C-alpha cells in the first residue's frame, strides 16, 4: 500500500485532543516561582549551553524535504494504524513542550529562563511541524492551532515540570538514538524515511534535558529531602507509561525488527545512566519484581481496553476494579528499593551514546 492510499478511520486531531492515561498532556505552571531560579552556581556550563542553543546547528536540518520517492512506503492496515498513533502521540508531545515553553517565556522576567524557553520552544515547534509534514504525506495532519485551544491543560508545580520534562527529554533521546542505531545496522527495517532524521532530532532532546539538569543542579534543594520521593514517583510513572504504551504497538516494533520489551529495557538503561548526572537515586529496572509489575500493568491496560469496549454497568465495574489493581501495582513499584547515586561534579554536555 502506498502513502497516497492511506486514509485513517478517525480524525488525528481528535485523537491528539483526547485525554487518556497514556496520552501526552498540556501543562501550565507557577511562572513567578520560575523567576526565583538562580543559575549562578552553574554559570559557566549555562553560558556554554546557551551559546550552543544560539549556534542552532540544526537550523537547516528540519527544513529539508523527506524524499518519499527514494523510500517507497508500504504498510499493512495494522501497521498503518500503529504508525499513525506513534506519529500523532509524538507530534502532540512535541507541541505540548512547545506551548509550555512559549508560555513560560511569555510570563517570566528571569532573563536566563526566558532565553532558554525561547530556544526550546523553537526546537519543539520545528519538531512538531516536521512530524506534521510526514502525517500530511500519509493523508492526515494534526491541526496544531486547534489543538492548543482545545486541549485540556493540567497545572504542575515548577518542580514537577523539571522532573517530568527532564525525564521526557532524556527518554526521548534514548528512544530516538536506540531506533536510529538499530536501523543503521538493519536498514532493511527502515520502512519510512522519517527515521533518517532521528539522530539530529534526539540531539535536540538531549540538549533540552541538559538545560533542565543544570537548573536542578543550580538549585540543589530540588534534589534533596522530600523531593526525592517525587523524583522516585516521576521515574516510575514515566518508565511504566512508556512500557505500557509501547506494548500497544506490536506491529510497529515487528516492522522495525525490534522486540518492544528489549527495546524498552535498553531505553531504561540509557536513561538511567544519563539521569545519574542529576538525580540522587535510580531505579533497579533489573529487579524481577519491577519487571513483573510492569507486565502486570500491561495486562491491566489490555483488560481496561476490553472493559471500555464492553461498556455498560458490567464494563464500568470491571474498569473500577482494574483501576484499583493498577494503583496497587504502582504502589508496589514505588515501594521497591532504589539505588543511591552520588552526583558527579559536572553535568555532561554531550551525548554519550
State the average pLDDT over residues 71-86: 84
Contact 260, 253 (CB under 8 A): yes
What's the whole-number average pLDDT of the chain?
A: 87
Where is 18: in which H helix or E strand? none
**Cα 137 to Cα 86, 132, 134, distances in angstroms:** 15, 9, 5
**Cα 64 to Cα 54, 58, 94, 129, 130, distances in angstroms:** 20, 11, 19, 12, 9
Q: What local confidence, expressed as pLDDT, does residue 18 receive?
A: 53
Give the residue extent of every domain in the chain: 3-216+251-274
Cβ contacts of 28 within 8 Å, gap of 6 or more? 100, 103, 153, 154, 155, 156
CB crowding 130-159: b at 16 or more within 10 Å, else e: bbbebbebbebbbbbeebeeebeeeebebb
pTM, full prediction = 0.88
Q: What local confidence, expressed as pLDDT, does residue 69 receive?
A: 64
Please give the distance of CA 198 from its chain centroid, rounded to a whole number.
14
Q: What local confidence, expressed as pLDDT, does residue 234 receive?
A: 96
CA angle at 170 for the pair 229 and 13, rounded to the nearest 5°:
100
d(CA 61, CA 126): 10
pLDDT per residue as tens digits for the range 94-147:
888 898 999 999 999 999 999 999 999 999 998 888 888 888 888 887 777 777
pLDDT at 350 over 70: no
DSSP 3: G
Amino acid at each position: 500500500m502506498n502513502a497516497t492510499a492511506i486514509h485513517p478511520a478517525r480524525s488525528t486531531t481528535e485523537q491528539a485532543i483526547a485525554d487518556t492515561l497514556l496520552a501526552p498532556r498540556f501543562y501550565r505552571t507557577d511562572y513567578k516561582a520560575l523567576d526565583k531560579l538562580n543559575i549562578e552556581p552553574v554559570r559557566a556550563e549555562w553560558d556554554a549551553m546557551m551559546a550552543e542553543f544560539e549556534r542552532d546547528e540544526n537550523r537547516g536540518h528540519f527544513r529539508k524535504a523527506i524524499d518519499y520517492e527514494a523510500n517507497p512506503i508500504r504498510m499493512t492496515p495494522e501497521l498503518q494504524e500503529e504508525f499513525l498513533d506513534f506519529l500523532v502521540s509524538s507530534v502532540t508531545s512535541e507541541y505540548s513542550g512547545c506551548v509550555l515553553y512559549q508560555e513560560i517565556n511569555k510570563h517570566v522576567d528571569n532573563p536566563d529562563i526566558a532565553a532558554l524557553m525561547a530556544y526550546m520552544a523553537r526546537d519543539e515547534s520545528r519538531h512538531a511541524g516536521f512530524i506534521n509534514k510526514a502525517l500530511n504525506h500519509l493523508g492526515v495532519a494534526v491541526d496544531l492551532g486547534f489543538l492548543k485551544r482545545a486541549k485540556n491543560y493540567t497545572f504542575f508545580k515548577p518542580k514537577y515540570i523539571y522532573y517530568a520534562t527532564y525525564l521526557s527529554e532524556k527518554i526521548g533521546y534514548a528512544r530516538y538514538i536506540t531506533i536510529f542505531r538499530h536501523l543503521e545496522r538493519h536498514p532493511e527495517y527502515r520502512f519510512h524515511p522519517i527515521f533518517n532524521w532521528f539522530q539530529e532530532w534526539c540531539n535536540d532532546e538531549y540538549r533540552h534535558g541538559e538545560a533542565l539538569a543544570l537548573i536542578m543542579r543550580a538549585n540543589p534543594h530540588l534534589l534533596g529531602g522530600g523531593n526525592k520521593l517525587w523524583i522516585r514517583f516521576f521515574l516510575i510513572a514515566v518508565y511504566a507509561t512508556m512500557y505500557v504504551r509501547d506494548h500497544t504497538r506490536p506491529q510497529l516494533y515487528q516492522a522495525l525488527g525490534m522486540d518492544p520489551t528489549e527495546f524498552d529495557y535498553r531505553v531504561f538503561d540509557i536513561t538511567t545512566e544519563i539521569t545519574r548526572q542529576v538525580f540522587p537515586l535510580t531505579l533497579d529496572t533489573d529487579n524481577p519484581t519491577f519487571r513483573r509489575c510492569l507486565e502486570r500493568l500491561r495486562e491491566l491496560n489490555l483488560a481496561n481496553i476490553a472493559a471500555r469496549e464492553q461498556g455498560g454497568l458490567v464494563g464500568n465495574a470491571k474498569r473500577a476494579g482494574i483501576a484499583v489493581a493498577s494503583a496497587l501495582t504502582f504502589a508496589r513499584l514505588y515501594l521497591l528499593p532504589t539505588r543511591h547515586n552520588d552526583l558527579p561534579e559536572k553535568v555532561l554536555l554531550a551525548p554519550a551514546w
